[in-house]
């Protein structure tokens, strides 16, 4: 492959990977939030400052290894801008975690995110009033285990948690934990043998 074709191949590969998951930011209409995803502002958790977070799966129970469709959305229902924190370079704006069967707050990610190196680089973004951020992806029921290898979930009951980190860090303040507030919505799922 010649040097002229290499950038094209890299670009096409990135486009194919980006099609596996969708994270979207959009402003809602002035009459209220609207989204085409199954997540709706009537469901989920009301958050501080007029924020609203939802988390849904396509069904409550799955056979082991069956793909899980996950949709999370956050909407700023207030009249003010709301800052939020992103912990690592390339992280999604809405984090998804799983707990249960010996797992405690393990990231749930599409394969393309699981296989990347995490680069700590705290960044911030701001949601304008009526803005909606949606994260949708199909999850293969695999997580990265303690030894850094992908592992399939065992049958049992689990809790998925969508999280957004509201606020910004003040590097001069000694009490960093209280500067950024973790807010979440949950969904229970069952994995059958």
Ordered per-residue pLDDT tens for the chain, 193 residues: 544 444 333 333 333 333 344 555 555 444 333 333 333 444 455 666 788 999 999 999 999 999 999 999 999 999 999 999 999 888 899 999 999 999 999 999 988 787 676 777 889 999 999 999 999 999 999 998 888 889 999 999 999 999 999 998 877 776 655 688 888 999 999 999 9
Phi, psi (degrees; rounded to nearest 5) at 9: -65, -40
Q: Is residue 11 part of a domain?
A: no
Q: How many CB atoms lie within 10 A of CB 139?
A: 22
Rounded to whole angstroms, the Cα distance separating 22 from 135 reads: 6
Q: Is residue 134 part of a domain?
A: yes
Q: Is residue 8 part of a domain?
A: no
CATH code (residue 139):
2.60.40.2360
* Domains contained in the chain, number: 1
Q: Is residue 14 part of a domain?
A: no
Q: Is residue 12 part of a domain?
A: no
Q: Is residue 9 part of a domain?
A: no
- Sequence-distant (6+) residues with CB within 8 A of 94 are 23, 53, 72, 73, 74, 133, 135, 162, 163, 164
Rounded to whole angstroms, the Cα distance separating 182 from 169 reads: 13
Enclosing domain of residue 64: 20-192
Environment class of residue 18 by beta-carbon count within 10 Å: exposed (0-12), middle (13-18) or buried (19+)?
exposed
């Amino acid at each position: 492959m010649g040097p002229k074709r290499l950038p094209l191949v890299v670009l096409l590969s990135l486009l194919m990977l980006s099609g596996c998951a969708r994270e979207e930011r959009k402003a809602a209409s002035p009459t209220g939030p609207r989204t085409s995803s199954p997540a709706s502002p009537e469901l989920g958790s009301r958050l501080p400052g007029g924020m609203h977070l939802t988390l849904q799966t396509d069904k409550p129970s799955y056979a082991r290894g069956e793909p899980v469709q996950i949709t999370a959305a956050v909407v700023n229902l207030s009249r003010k801008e709301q800052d939020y924190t992103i912990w690592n370079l390339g992280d999604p704006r809405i984090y998804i975690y799983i707990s249960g069967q010996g797992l405690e707050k393990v990231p749930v990610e599409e394969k393309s995110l699981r296989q990347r190196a995490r680069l700590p680089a705290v960044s911030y973004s701001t949601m304008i009033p009526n803005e909606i951020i949606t994260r949708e992806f199909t999850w293969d029921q695999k997580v990265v285990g303690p030894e850094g290898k992908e592992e399939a979930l065992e049958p049992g009951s689990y809790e998925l948690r969508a999280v957004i980190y509201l606020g910004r860090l003040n590097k001069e303040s000694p009490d960093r934990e209280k500067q950024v507030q973790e807010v979440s919505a949950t969904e229970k799922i069952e994995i059958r043998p």
